[in-house]
């Protein structure tokens, strides 16, 4: 499994989108607490949705090739637990 992960690279655009969210997080809490923020590469302002599914659908419908980042607007991120992962060839 580690051999398959060796070829993975960090996406600088996704890192930039995540960093932009983190910079704005505290100011977003006042009006958008609990909502899902969608940040799209090339779009200056985040968009907000009630569910993660709506945010993902909006991200994919914006431009099929555009990278996007979603995160729920909370004081602190909830941990993501993945009890079992299957990596297929």
pLDDT tens column, 49-84: 999 999 999 999 988 788 999 999 999 988 877 676
Predicted structure pTM score: 0.79
Residues 72, 40: Cα–Cα separation, whole Å: 15
Rounded to the nearest 10°, the torsion over CA 77, 10, 59, 52 is: -20
Calculate the average pLDDT of the chain.
Answer: 88
Pull the structure tokens for residue 87: 């990596």
Helix residue ranges, H only, 33-77: 52-62
């Amino acid at each position: 499994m580690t051999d398959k992960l060796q070829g993975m690279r960090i996406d600088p655009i996704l890192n930039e989108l995540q960093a932009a969210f983190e910079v704005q997080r505290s100011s977003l809490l006042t009006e958008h607490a609990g909502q899902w923020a969608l940040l799209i590469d090339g779009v200056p302002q985040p968009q907000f949705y009630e569910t993660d599914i709506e945010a993902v659908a909006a991200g994919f419908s914006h431009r099929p090739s555009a990278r996007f980042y979603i995160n729920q607007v909370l004081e602190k991120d909830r941990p993501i637990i993945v009890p079992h992962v299957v990596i297929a060839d």
